């Protein structure tokens, strides 16, 4: 009898996920149903596959959603995170396992006891970040502990970037994920971390001027700015006594300094709307955030306001985006500043059909073993294949897919709402990911602790 997998949502991150299920459909006796609001966008090769059914599904249609979930054995929700709770409640009602790549919400956490009582696995945070970061970190941390080591330092960084062969702009960046998440990154509170036993906080307006530098062999130098809350990982990873705990987002060197201009101008603000945004030129949009002058040009006002010299490299980055163009127009009604900026950036930073993205991840593990302080660094680089089969889709989708099969095959059996930090979960998944080209290189380096010289003031 076939095992039925329901995939909800067929967005950008699902290309490898769906391919994996279809490739395994004969050997694993799978029938895959893909439910999406706009199934016409799903490739014909998938729609016509013998072991796949594609249906139009509105997640807000309770009868259709519940009927479809009831027919499945396991549900993979690739919907926006805010919709997972509807799916999770249905999975409880009909006793179905659930897999998502999203952060565990407070609403989902509340379902833990009932999921355990019904012997259901609700696996969350099993994508890239969160996901691969959890699994790759815990594999090393558990190994250090098994040898009797005591963790002193953990730093982790991830970046969705453009591949070197497709890197053709001054920002060294193109969108490989949801552009909105890039534009509003870091907002909603100060970044929090621990440095050598001291709590540190970086307010949003300073975030992009406090960067740590990283080198990856064969790929050069990167920078990283702090994620919003690194402290959550103390409990999740059992690092309550660690002296340094820091997580960040990776970019190419120079990106953060330039991005900080948008932050200082107020262009990343998403809290109010611009009443006459539709039809506004890029130049008029920029001028909204600058002081009035009866004589100075928009360019001159901006340089004075941000103290940018004409030969500063960041000035070239602004010119490259066509920010001062009077003919290019915003098409959004009542746009927030962040939405207006996003539209401008998408015009320049969208991957073309033949271009590739790149995922980079970097971990630092500092520990004490036998009275000696040691450090192990590990990094991963994955290059995408096409605009649809991206490194982002690969590193998000494959862990989700492998976990789903592991649950169906009763290799993952611990019930409840969880993230992939136990050996039962991460060991087989990481083992298979290595065969699929997703692996970490490890390096022994001198223990330096948290190096303040590597952080820009």
238 domain residue, yes or no:
no
Helices (H) and strands (E) in the chain, counts: 16, 16
302 domain residue, yes or no:
yes
- Count of structural domains, the chain: 2
Does pLDDT of 456 surpass 70?
no
pLDDT tens-digit profile of 279-324? 999 999 999 999 999 999 999 999 999 999 888 889 999 999 999 9
Integer Cα distance of 304 and 324 in angstroms: 15
Q: What are phi and psi of 195, to 5 degrees?
A: -125, 115
222 domain residue, yes or no:
no
Non-local (6+) Cβ contacts of 12 within 8 A are 177, 388, 390, 392, 393
When the pLDDT of each residue in the chain is averaged and rounded to a whole number, the result is 93
Q: What are phi and psi of 424, to 5 degrees?
A: -55, -35
206 domain residue, yes or no:
no
Domain boundary among 335, 362, 377: 335
**Average pLDDT over every residue of 164-171:** 95
pLDDT tens-digit profile of 363-399? 999 999 999 999 999 999 999 998 889 999 999 999 9
318 domain residue, yes or no:
yes
250 within 8 A of 159, measured Cβ to Cβ: yes
Residue carrying structure tokens 């990911």: 433
Does pLDDT of 278 surpass 60?
yes
Integer Cα distance of 274 and 293 in angstroms: 21
- Answer yes or no: pTM beyond 0.85: yes
Integer Cα distance of 397 and 14 in angstroms: 6
218 domain residue, yes or no:
no
Three-class DSSP labels, 353-366? CCCCEEEEEEEEEE
**Average pLDDT over every residue of 219-241:** 92
Percent of the chain exceeding pLDDT 90 equals 86
363 domain residue, yes or no:
no
Domain span at 294: 273-335
Does pLDDT of 457 surpass 60?
no
pLDDT tens-digit profile of 13-63? 889 999 999 999 999 999 999 999 888 888 899 989 999 999 999 999 999
Integer Cα distance of 371 and 373 in angstroms: 7
**Average pLDDT over every residue of 425-452:** 88
Instruction: Dig out the tokens for 21 from the structure.
Output: 């299920």
Contacts 24+ apart (CB under 8 A), 255-261: 255/171, 255/172, 255/173, 255/223, 256/208, 256/209, 256/211, 256/223, 256/225, 257/208, 257/209, 257/314, 258/171, 258/313, 258/314, 258/317, 258/318, 259/208, 260/208, 260/209, 261/306, 261/308, 261/314, 261/318
Domain boundary among 313, 335, 357: 335
57 domain residue, yes or no:
yes
Instruction: Dig out the tokens for 10 from the structure.
Output: 């067929």
Domain boundary among 85, 106, 124: 124
Domain CATH number, residue 97: 3.40.50.720
- Of the ranges 173-182, 254-263, 268-277, 327-336, which one carries the lowest mean pLDDT score? 173-182
Q: What is the pLDDT of residue 11?
A: 84
């Amino acid at each position: 009898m076939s095992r039925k997998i329901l995939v909800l949502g067929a967005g950008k991150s699902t290309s490898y996920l769906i391919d994996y299920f279809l490739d395994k459909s004969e050997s694993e006796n799978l029938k895959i149903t893909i439910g999406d609001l706009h199934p016409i966008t799903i490739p014909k090769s998938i729609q016509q596959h013998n072991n796949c059914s594609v249906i139009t599904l509105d997640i807000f249609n309770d009868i259709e959603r519940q009927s479809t979930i009831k027919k499945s054995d396991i549900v993979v929700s690739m919907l926006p995170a805010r919709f997972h709770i509807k799916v999770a409640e249905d999975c409880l009602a009909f006793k179905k396992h659930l897999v998502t790549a999203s952060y565990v919400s407070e609403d989902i956490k509340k379902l833990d006891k009932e999921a355990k009582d019904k012997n259901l696995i609700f696996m969350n945070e099993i994508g890239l970040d969160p996901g691969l970061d959890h699994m790759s970190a815990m594999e090393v941390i558990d190994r250090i502990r098994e040898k009797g080591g005591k963790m002193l330092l953990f730093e982790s960084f991830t970046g969705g970037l453009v591949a070197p062969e497709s890197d053709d702009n001054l920002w060294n960046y193109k969108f490989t994920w949801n552009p909105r998440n890039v534009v509003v990154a870091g907002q909603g509170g100060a970044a929090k971390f621990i440095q050598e036993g001291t709590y540190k906080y970086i307010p949003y307006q300073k975030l992009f001027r406090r960067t740590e530098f990283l080198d990856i062999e064969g790929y050069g130098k990167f920078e990283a700015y702090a994620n919003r809350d690194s402290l959550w990982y103390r409990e999740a990873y059992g690092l309550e006594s660690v002296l340094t705990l820091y997580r960040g987002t990776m970019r190419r060197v120079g990106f953060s300094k330039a991005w900080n201009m948008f932050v200082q101008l107020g262009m990343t603000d998403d809290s109010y709307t611009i009443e006459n945004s539709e039809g506004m030129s890029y130049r008029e949009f920029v001028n909204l955030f600058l002081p009035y002058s009866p004589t100075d040009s928009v360019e001159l006002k901006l340089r004075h306001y941000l103290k940018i010299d004409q030969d500063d490299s960041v000035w070239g980055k602004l010119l490259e985006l066509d920010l001062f163009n009077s003919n290019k127009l915003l098409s959004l009604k009542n746009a927030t500043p962040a939405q207006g900026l996003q539209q401008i950036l998408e015009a320049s930073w969208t991957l073309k059909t033949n271009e590739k993205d790149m995922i980079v991840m970097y971990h630092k593990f500092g520990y004490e073993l036998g009275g000696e302080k040691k450090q192990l660094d590990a990094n991963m680089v994955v290059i995408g294949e096409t605009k649809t089969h991206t490194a982002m889709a690969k590193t998000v989708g494959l862990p989700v897919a492998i976990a789903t099969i592991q649950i169906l095959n009763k290799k993952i059996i611990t019930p409840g709402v969880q993230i992939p930090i136990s050996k039962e979960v991460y060991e087989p998944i990481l083992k298979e990911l290595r065969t699929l080209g997703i692996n970490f290189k490890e390096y022994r380096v001198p223990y330096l602790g948290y190096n303040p010289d590597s952080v820009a003031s």
